[in-house]
């Protein structure tokens, strides 16, 4: 550790201010690294608890590289963009469900479908890609970051824009309250259940990541048992569905996919939420703020900076000092 007391005696006033700014920056990095370690731990525990026993978990379950990248990305989003903690939990849970925050799962994927999807996209396809499994056309439609399909930070920021957009649409369509309605295949009745985090708008916003934004609308019962239709729509007349005009409050339709339906998808995402309860404390406890500007903003001459660096035997820390995504 640098003995600043002796060194500062040999520096000019402006150099002292710069030296203190550098020390503050180093302290901030050390403090933030501890925060990121704590956030990584919570995410890892959530992944481990929600990831069923499988060949993939056995081989990739202990790889924390992607977990740390995810922790860095959500840490930045939470602190510097003031994103609500529930949205942070949503982003983490979706990424854990879609890719386990594992580069191996993204690059290999079940049965090689990620690579095949990439090839398909090269010839105009629209296969979901990346840590958040987002389709290329959504990147264009919502003006998502260019690296949404390639990096963890891109996936986190892209997912944030998507979920926010879906949430706002849900609110405008009347989704509110603590419960949602689903079709229960066993009882063959519409029934209410608790929404994710007690927020119906957030629940349908997450479901839309699986079923598409088109599921966010006002739904009405029809003359077909268990089938709903957008209120006032006549697009379903071919299968005999006729809207009765009776609205279904906060409805989450069962849209089918190769890996189940929308309701099953929500249950899979929700598996991670329960294990993220302590993450807010990890993100906020003992937050370190740098009060002084970095040396580059103190208008030191090149000679003064060189003199200060030689005295302190350190240099202003750059990005490489902070274990950027993909490094440990």
Burial of 31 (0-12, 13-18, 19+ CB in 10 A): middle
**pLDDT tops 70 at residue 261:** yes
Confidence of residue 28 (pLDDT cuts 50, 70, 90): low
**DSSP-derived 3-state class of residue 216:** coil
Q: Among the three residues 241, 257, 273, which one is the final residue of a domain in this structure? A: 257
Local structure of residue 310 (DSSP, 8 states):
H
Report the number of distinct structural domains present in the chain: 2
Residue 144's beta-bridge partner residues?
Answer: none
Residues 151 and 183 in one domain: no
Residues 43 and 134 in one domain: yes
Range of 71's domain? 32-155
**pLDDT tops 90 at residue 192:** yes
**pLDDT tops 60 at residue 25:** no
Residues 150 and 36 in one domain: yes
In terms of average pLDDT, the best of 98-112, 194-208, 236-250, 280-294 is 194-208
Residues 46 and 112 in one domain: yes
**pLDDT tops 60 at residue 109:** no
For residue 75, the tally of other CB atoms under 10 A from its CB is 19
Residue 192 dihedral angles phi and psi, to the nearest 5°: -90, 150
Residues 144 and 77 in one domain: yes
Could you tell me if residue 276 is inside a domain?
A: no
Residue 233: what pLDDT? 77
Residues 46 and 150 in one domain: yes
Q: Among the three residues 257, 274, 304, which one is the final residue of a domain in this structure? A: 257
Could you tell me if residue 149 is inside a domain?
A: yes
Q: What is the pTM of this model?
A: 0.72
């Amino acid at each position: 550790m640098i003995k600043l007391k002796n060194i500062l005696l040999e520096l000019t006033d402006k150099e002292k201010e710069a030296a203190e700014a550098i020390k503050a920056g180093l302290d901030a990095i050390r403090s933030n690294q501890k925060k990121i370690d704590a956030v990584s731990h919570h995410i890892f525990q959530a992944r481990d608890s929600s990831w069923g026993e499988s060949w993939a978990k056995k081989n990739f379950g202990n790889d924390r590289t992607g977990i740390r990248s995810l922790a860095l990305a959500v840490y930045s989003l939470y602190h510097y963009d003031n994103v609500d903690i529930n949205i942070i939990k949503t982003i983490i849970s979706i990424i854990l469900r879609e890719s386990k925050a594992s580069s191996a799962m993204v690059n290999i994927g079940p049965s090689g479908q990620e690579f095949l999807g990439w090839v398909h996209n090269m010839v105009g396809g629209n296969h979901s890609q990346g840590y958040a499994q987002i389709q290329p056309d959504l990147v264009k439609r919502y003006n998502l970051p260019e690296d949404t399909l390639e990096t963890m930070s891109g996936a986190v920021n892209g997912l944030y824009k998507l979920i926010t957009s879906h949430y706002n649409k849900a609110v405008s369509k009347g989704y509110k309250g603590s419960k949602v309605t689903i079709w229960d295949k066993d009882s063959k009745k519409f029934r209410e259940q608790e929404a994710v985090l007690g927020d119906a708008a957030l629940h349908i916003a997450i479901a839309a990541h699986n079923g598409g934004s088109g599921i966010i609308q006002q739904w009405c019962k029809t003359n077909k048992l268990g089938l709903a239709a957008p209120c006032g729509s006549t697009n379903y007349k071919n299968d005999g569905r006729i809207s009765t005009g009776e609205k279904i409050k906060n409805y989450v339709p069962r849209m089918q996919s190769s890996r189940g339906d929308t309701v099953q998808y929500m249950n899979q995402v929700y598996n991670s939420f329960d294990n993220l309860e302590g993450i807010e404390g990890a993100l906020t406890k003992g937050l370190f703020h740098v009060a002084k500007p970095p040396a580059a903003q103190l208008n030191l001459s090149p000679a003064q900076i060189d003199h200060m660096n030689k005295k302190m035997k350190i240099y202003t820390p750059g990005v490489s000092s902070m274990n950027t995504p993909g490094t440990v």
